[in-house]
Amino acid sequence: MSWLRRDQSADSQQAAAPGAPGAAGAPGVAGTAPGAPSALAAASLATAAPVPQPLLTIDALGRKCPIPIIMLAEQIRDVPVGAVIAVLADDPAAYTDVPAWCGMKSHEFVFRSELDSGWAFGIRRRY
């Protein structure tokens, strides 16, 4: 599943091996050039409240709803209860669909941060 990454381990691999799979420019993978801040890190710097560090980031940029929700629903079981998942999306429907999905599924909607193109949504797994 090339459209997701484990943030902590993927960041160190990308920095150590530029041009490797998952590095900047790879389609569907949340990544940045070595030394450049990630979109989620840039979003957290722009907000006043601290943004929890996500364990998993799902890059749904460029995908239309309901694909970001389907991607989230498939991957939420892969993180422990209490962990935060970030979803990056730029479809206008995601702005309301992600918080609504959290309410319907009883997960906690933690944050929504503006990105240059779209939003970063934080979801805490509750069960």
Strands lying side by side in the sheet with 119-124: 4-6, 56-59, 84-89, 119-124, 108-114
pLDDT-derived band at 13, boundaries 50, 70, 90: very low
Catalytic annotation, residues? 65
Q: Tens digits of per-residue pLDDT, 35-57?
A: 545 656 555 555 556 878 999 99
Q: For the chain, how big is the Rg over CA atoms in Å?
A: 14
Q: Tens digits of per-residue pLDDT, 56-107?
A: 999 999 999 999 999 999 999 999 999 999 999 999 999 999 999 999 999 9
